[in-house]
């Protein structure tokens, strides 16, 4: 077998000899904790982290026991905590939902990092929003294996203030959509850079509603890696956790779960067809809510993602385009309806109609 020489900082090797990365598969552990009345507390975060540790057996590690396939947690925006941390930096945050916070993986090289941060500043301004500032996220990687440390990015949080939304009945959703457009535009701009300049860049979350902490970790490493999670002011009424077993793609910092909308256990067998159909229909897309922004966020799917990352790209787009989350999920993962004898005519009509718009992600 001949070896094709290439440089990889993230993701699987190129196809070579009998190896093809498309033949990888995955299975993971996922957990969810929520207060049924929506009451935020630090206890919910601690319980979710314990669930994650209880899922340690569902994840995987490499030849180094302290290098994990990936672990992470998604929580509601911890406004009290972020407001306190921003004040320490001399930054004044607007009221909750009037600002967005992003967790960003950046290159270690200072010049490359500055270039990407400048891209954020320019695009935020072009989209009519306000760049409030950046925060360095405290980390402790002393317990991580050499393989994880070797490709570890720099972790920063970005704060973006909401632009003029006067007179908008849907101001919150409009701002969430603007944050989505900003992230997509930055991703496309960075993807156009040389490989070395875009290595280690990834945006796990940029939202006014949720915040994600994740990485190339085992379940019991995420808490010590990100001391923020120990702060009593990090409060949430819900938490989604995930411990990865990466048999679909190789371990990397960006491909840990949760993603912005989902965490997933399993594999999508129809992935190649789903990707091709999404690319094919992009030329026909139209959206009243995106308007001229639609052209700036294409392509919807970002290259190099796992099956779940790609699924999340599409689900996020459908929700941002105006559909409810349940509506978008049922479009992508319809139940078997053709021969369902007891299904109501209305539900059958729903599935039949959407089958002409999108193929199932099976």
Q: Percentages helix, strand, coil for the chain, rounded to the nearest 5?
A: 40, 15, 45
Q: 276: number of CA atoms within 13 Å, CB side? A: 4
Give the residue among 81, 178, 172 at the shortest CA–CA distance from 127: 178
Spatial strand order of the sheet with 210-215 comes to 29-34, 238-243, 71-76, 210-215
Partners of 106 in the β-ladder: 154
Q: Of 222, 227, 126, which Cα lies nearest the Cα of 181?
A: 126
Active-site residue, from 10, 12, 26, 28: 28
Question: Cβ distance 158 to 134 under 8 Å?
Answer: yes
Alpha-carbon distance 54 to 30, whole Å? 10
Please check whether residue 244 is in contact with residue 71, taking contact to mean a CB–CB distance below 8 angstroms.
yes
Cα(15)–Cα(2) distance, integer angstroms: 11
Helix 307-320 to helix 271-281 angle, to the nearest 10 degrees?
Answer: 40
Closest CA to 216 of 48, 77, 60: 60
Closest CA to 66 of 212, 263, 224, 200: 224
User: For this structure, is 63 an active site residue?
Assistant: no
Q: How far apart are CA 258 and CA 272, in angstroms?
A: 22
Phi (first) and psi of residue 242, to 5 degrees: -150, 135
Question: Exposed/middle/buried for 26, CB within 10 Å: 0-12, 13-18, 19+?
Answer: buried
**Catalytic machinery residues:** 28
């Amino acid at each position: 077998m001949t070896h094709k020489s290439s440089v990889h900082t993230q993701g699987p090797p190129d196809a070579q000899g009998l190896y093809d990365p498309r033949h990888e598969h995955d299975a993971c552990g996922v957990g969810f904790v929520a207060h049924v009345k929506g009451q935020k507390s630090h206890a919910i975060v601690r319980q979710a982290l314990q669930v994650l540790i209880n899922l340690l057996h569902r994840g995987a590690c490499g030849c180094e026991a302290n290098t994990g396939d990936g672990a992470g947690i998604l929580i509601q925006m911890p406004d009290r905590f972020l407001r306190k941390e921003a004040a320490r930096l001399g930054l004044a945050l607007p009221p909750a939902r009037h600002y967005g916070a992003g967790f960003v993986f950046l290159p270690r090289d200072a010049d490359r990092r500055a270039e990407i941060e400048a891209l954020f500043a320019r695009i935020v301004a072009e989209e009519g929003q306000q760049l409030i500032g950046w925060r360095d996220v405290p980390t402790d990687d002393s317990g991580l294996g050499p393989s994880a440390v070797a490709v570890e990015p720099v972790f920063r949080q970005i704060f973006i203030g909401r632009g003029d939304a006067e007179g908008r009945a849907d101001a919150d959703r409009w701002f969430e959509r603007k944050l989505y457009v900003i992230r997509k535009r930055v991703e496309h701009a960075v993807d156009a850079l040389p490989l070395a300049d875009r290595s280690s860049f990834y945006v796990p979350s940029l939202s006014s509603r949720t915040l994600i902490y994740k990485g190339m970790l085992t379940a019991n490493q995420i808490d010590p890696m990100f001391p923020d999670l120990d702060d009593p002011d990090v409060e949430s009424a819900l938490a989604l956790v995930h411990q990865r077993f990466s048999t679909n793609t190789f371990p990397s910092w960006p491909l840990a779960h949760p993603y912005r909308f989902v965490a997933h256990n399993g594999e999508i067998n129809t992935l190649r067809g789903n990707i091709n159909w999404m690319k094919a229909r992009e030329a026909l897309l139209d959206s009243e809510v995106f308007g001229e922004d639609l052209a700036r966020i294409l392509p919807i799917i970002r290259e190099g993602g796992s099956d779940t990352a790609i699924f999340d790209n599409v689900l996020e787009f459908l929700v941002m385009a105006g559909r409810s989350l349940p509506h978008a999920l049922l479009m992508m993962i319809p139940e078997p309806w053709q021969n369902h004898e007891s299904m109501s005519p209305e539900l059958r009509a729903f599935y039949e109609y959407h089958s002409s718009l999108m193929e199932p992600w099976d």
